[in-house]
Structure 1
Amino acid sequence: MSRAGGQDGSSVSDEEWERFLRESVAGTADAPVEPSARARAVQRRLAEHPEQQEGWRTRTPARPRRRTGRYVTGLVAALALLAVAVFPHRVAGWFGGDAGQADKPLAAETERPGEAPGAEPALRATLAEPFRGSPAAHWADGAAGITVPRAEATGWMDAAQVARALRRSKEFMVDSGLDPRVLRGERPTKAIALLNPHQRDVQEYLRAALSSSAPTPETDPLLLFSRFRPEQARLVGDVVKTRGRLTYREGERGAVEVTADVTFVYPVTPATGDSGPDGEVIRTIVRREVVMSWDDPAKVITEPDTLSLVSYTLDMTNGGCSAPTGYFVPPFGAADEQRVDASHRIDPYDRSKPVARSGGTTSKNGGCTTATRS
């Protein structure tokens, strides 16, 4: 006889009914439990909105606040203060200073700047960092610092000829101001080869300037060529910093007249003795303005690929204050003993003004021109 019937009308045996009663009384881990009305409601809501996974009375506890960030910030600040105290010039470089010469060069100069470069940290030049504390630390190396403009047809030349004249004009500035042999006092053969051999006054100047042991201010080879006595001074490393540009226009008789305005910064140290890692370094700073004429051979006697000089002048700092010797004479060990003219001060890095026509080496009373920085 059946004791109970299922919802589908099926019967349950006596043995199964007795087992159910025993398990109901004793309880089992996997015994089914009828959900309550509230549980059914929650189950129905979750089935309708499966994206809601939290219970209706549940909440996500707030994460405990960690103090690690505060400790890390304090540690970084302490390390920064220590770096400033131990390596001040390095830290200054991180914010636009010298940075051990690791900064990228300035953009090329394409026109006369409106003002002088900003002040740099007052740091002494060293053998390892010869441009430290100088605006030149951000300048390009060697020939890369001389900007050549786009060529256009001018005077008797078409655009291609103007481009060649500009290229050769830059070569003259490089050969006269950057050639290592010329810097060691040797004859500037390559630069001379670019000069018109029929320009009589220039040829006379060259003969007097390069053969005399006692040049005059008018025959000083430094007016065109950068030279140091190898027994007195030597360059620190093989880098000379430069900044400048070429410009051109139509000159007399249809010539193409090219003007070069370039500043050279030569870091030098005494040639004799072991200077050691803290040896003296002086920066000789020279700004040259050379005007070159590429003449029409139909109107002026000249040779192919040679230029005629119209004018040449320079400003010079830390290159000597006595009578011309034909060489730059850096004031090693005597920088504080030079006579200065307080009425004639010059910032050798200021390219916003034209080059002085006095030569820039000495003042009228025989003392050195006062440089505001080097």
Structure 2
Amino acid sequence: MGAGTEPDGGSSRSDEEWERFLRESVAGAADAPKEPSARAREAAKRPRAEPDRDPEVWRGYPPARPKRRTGWYVVGLLASLALLVVALAPGRVVDLFAGADSSPSAAETARPTKAPPAEAARRPTMNEPFRGSPAASWASGAAGITVPKAEAVGWMSAAEVERALARSRDFLVAAGLDSGVLRGERPDKAIALINPHQKDVQELLATAFRTPSEKSDPLLLFSRFQPSRTRLVGDVVKTRGRLTYKEGERGALQVTADVTFVYPATSADASGDEIVRTIVRRELVLSWDDPGKVITEPGTFSIVSYKYDMTNGGCGAPTGYFTPPFGTDRRADETGTEIDPYDRSAPVGRGESTGDGCERATRS
């Protein structure tokens, strides 16, 4: 027989168990499911009756407002402003895009084979004094003077050649870029780099600043403007050129500098906004001599030769200063041999013994 059953088929539960069962049936078990209310049954029917309707809509929440699309309004406003700028100042817009298209010129490492291409004819301004010329893409100041890699030459080691090349460039900076020298001051820093025992050059320096002449003119080596007459525009001078070197006489290091300087200038009386670019191309040959063979001083060089081409720097008797022609004076300067001052493919033509010719720039 199975446990918990009576032989006659009756229940085996005791009277206490039946009494407890009846009490729980009347009170309800704690975990027994409860019948939902009428409102809950109605709510459950609605989603099934309307399957395409958002189940959340019946709750009565207001629909979210669509976001306004303001992007197109902003684009339209900017386009209108751009058209207005073009209409009011078309020249400035052209200049802006022209400047964006130009890129800096690569450093000059060898003599070019041809002149730079012609630029669009645009008048220079006080804010853009190099506009309309190849110099606009040139480097500024000493950055435009390329210095080659140093190797041992003659009596100098590679390290000594490197120092000599750096000091050669320092001379060019002190002679042609120093702000004080450009305003007419004496170029003491540059002169200090010249061998004080070189008699002919020392004689030139002794008289050039006191009584300038064709043979003893400061402009043969230095760039100077007279402040009472000329004012440089801005603080930037554009340059392009390079240093080269080889072994010279008696084992000396011979350095050749070929550099073009572009100086934008205006009249000192501030009577107008006319800008004239004085363009000077210099070729200097410097000798760093062996002190055991030549009388010299440490850190100085001897000048082997010097020559230059100059346009828009004035004609007539030497004054010791460049004198850019302004206004009616420009017509008087527009005589003489024509020269492209930006053409660095041709050799420098003007030397220390050149006569009174005045070269005229084919472009400025």
Instruction: Give 3-state SS (helix, strand or coil) of 1:292's partner.
Output: strand
1:133-172 equivalence runs, <5 A: 133-172=132-171
Instruction: Say whether the 8 Å CA contact 1:320–1:361 is kept in structure 2.
Output: no
Higher-Rg member (1/2): 2
Change (3 A) 1:199 1:358: closer
Separation in 1, partners of 2:352, 2:198: 23
TM (norm. structure 1) is 0.72
Instruction: Give the whole-Å Cα distance in 2 for the aligned partners of 1:347 and 1:199.
Output: 34
Q: Given the superposition, is the C-alpha separation of residues 148 and 119 from structure 1 closer, same or farther in structure 2, using an over 3 Å criterion? A: same
Show the counterpart of 2:90. 87
Asked whether the 8 Å contact 2:174–2:190 carries over to 1, the reply is yes
- Aligned partners of 1:347, 1:122: CA distance in 2, in Å? 15
Equivalent of 2:311 in 298, 309, 317: 317
Using the alignment, how far apart are the partners of 2:331 and 2:180 within structure 1? 31
What amino acid sits opposite 2:348 in the alignment? V
Please say if residues 294 and 307 of structure 1, whose CA atoms lie closer than 8 Å, have aligned partners that are also in contact.
Answer: yes
Match of 2:281 among 281, 287, 297: 287
Partner of 1:345: 338
Q: Deviations over 1:173-202 (max 9, x none)?
A: 000000111111111000000000000000
* Aligned with 1:265 (options 240, 243, 262): 262
The sequence identity of aligned pairs, in percent, is 63
Answer whether contact 1:195 1:307 (CA < 8 A) is retained: yes
How far residue 86 of structure 1 moved from its aligned partner, in angstroms, is 3.8
Distance 1:148 1:89, change over 3 A: farther
Listed as ranges, the matches of 1:68-217 within 5 Å are: 83=86, 86-88=89-91, 90-91=93-94, 94=97, 97-98=98-99, 103-212=102-211, 215-217=212-214
SS where residue 343 of structure 2 aligns? coil
Aligned position for 2:362:
372
Change (3 A) 1:204 1:261: same
Name the structure 1 match of 2:232.
235
The verdict on how the C-alpha distance between 1:93 and 1:84 changes in structure 2, with shifts beyond 3 A counting, is farther
Aligned to 1:330: 324
Q: Deviations over 1:325-355 (max 9, x none)?
A: 110001011254225446x210001111111
Residue type of the alignment partner of 1:347: D
Report if aligned partners of 2:279, 2:312 keep a CA contact under 8 Å in 1.
Answer: yes
Native 8 Å contact 2:215 2:353 kept in 1: no
- Deviation sequence 1:68-108 (CA, Å, 0-9, x none): xxxx9xx98xx7898499434642563xx445xx9542111
CA contact (8 A) 1:233 1:271 kept: yes
Unaligned runs of 5+ in 2: 1-46, 50-74
> CA offset at residue 358 of structure 1?
4.7
Separation in 1 of the partners of 2:301 and 2:236? 28
Q: Which runs of 4+ in 1 moved over 2 A?
A: 79-94, 102-105, 339-342, 357-364
Label 1:30 to 1:80 Cα distance change in 2 as closer, same or farther (>3 A).
closer
Structure 1: distance between partners of 2:198 and 2:153: 23
Alpha carbons of structure 1 residues 346 and 193: separation in structure 2 relative to 1, 3 Å: same
The reply to whether residue 298 of structure 1 matches residue 298 of structure 2 is no
Contact 1:321–1:362 (Cα < 8 Å) also in 2: no
Cα 1:354–1:218, aligned 2, differ >3 Å: closer, same or farther? Answer: same
CA contact (8 A) 2:231 2:265 kept: yes
Task: Tell me by how many angstroms 1:307 deviates.
Answer: 0.4
Cα shift at 1:208:
1.1
Indicate the SS of the match to 2:296: coil
SS at match of 1:338: helix
> Is the 1:315–1:360 Cα contact (8 Å) retained in structure 2?
no
Structure 2 CA distance for aligned equivalents of residues 248 and 349 of structure 1: 23
Return closer, same or farther for 1:152/1:358 CA change in 2, 3 Å cut-off.
Answer: closer
- Give the 3 Å change call, closer, same or farther, for CA 175–339 of structure 1 in structure 2: closer
Q: TM-score, normalised by structure 2?
A: 0.74
The Cα offsets for residues 119-156 of structure 1, whole Å up to 9 and x where unpaired, read as 11111111111111111110111111111000001111
**In structure 2, what is the Cα distance between the partners aligned to 1:263 and 1:112?**
12
How many residue pairs end up in the alignment? 294
